[in-house]
Amino acid sequence: MNLVGDNLFFLLKGAYYTLLITVISMCFGLMIGIVVAVARLKGNRPIRWLARGYVSVIRGTPALVQILVVYYGLVDYGITLGPLTAACAALSVNVGAYLSETFRGAILAIPKGQTEAAYASGMSSWQTLRRIIFPQAARVAIAPIGNTFIGMLKETALVSVITVTELVRSAQLLIAQYFVNMPFYLGIGAMYWVMSTVFSWILGTIEKRLSRAY
């Protein structure tokens, strides 16, 4: 009996939630990352310290602990989040810290002369960022952002501990039903590989187009 094939729809549903969590977390993480990167580069001293502290704490603690803090820890303070919401919130905060460093490095890679020329032409700081710095920084950052996206796709497996029925959790439920491990683990491994390969190709195509555009 082909256990994976017979339960493919159930596993695909888990893959859907894996992709959903990945996309939502990356979208919010991108926004957090941009804000924190700009805060570290353009903010006053307290803002820079706050942004640096956020990055240090998030990068210095395991993502699993962060997920548990959001899902279980906040309950102590009367804040109860559903498993899917908690998963997206925790992973958004996590990936935002890493993306902030990606954006900060990309912004710093832009020659200072371009910023000075923009100021000399009468542009404000915000106009310079929006029209000059961000478009070029996006091209520099696209490759590491792609790697972070693929890493996040695989890191969603951690949210199975808070009962989110993503791909790993789906496999665990089937294993508990059939008392067989290897087919399901190999099956979800293949599904992760396919998703990672497809997204690598998509991001590679985007990177090539951005390179031609600039």
Q: Tokens in use for 201?
A: 């190709």
Read off the CATH number of the domain in which 86 is found: 1.10.3720.10
Number of domains in the chain: 1
Rounded Cα distance between 102 and 146, Å, is 11
- 134: Cα separation from own chain's centroid: 19
Higher-confidence residue: 89 or 209?
A: 89
| Mean pLDDT of all residues in 102-129 | 81
Which secondary-structure segment (H or E) carries 165?
Answer: none
CA distances 126 to 107, 122, 131, Å, are: 14, 12, 8
How do residues 126-166 score in pLDDT, each as one tens digit? 778 777 888 888 888 888 898 999 999 999 999 999 999 99
Number of Cβ within 10 Å of residue 135's Cβ equals: 14
Report if pTM > 0.85.
Answer: yes
Residue 211 predicted with pLDDT over 70:
no
- By residue range, what is the domain housing residue 58? 3-213
**Where are the strands (E) in 54-153, listed by range?**
none
How do residues 42-91 score in pLDDT, each as one tens digit? 888 999 999 999 999 999 999 999 999 999 999 999 999 999 999 999 99
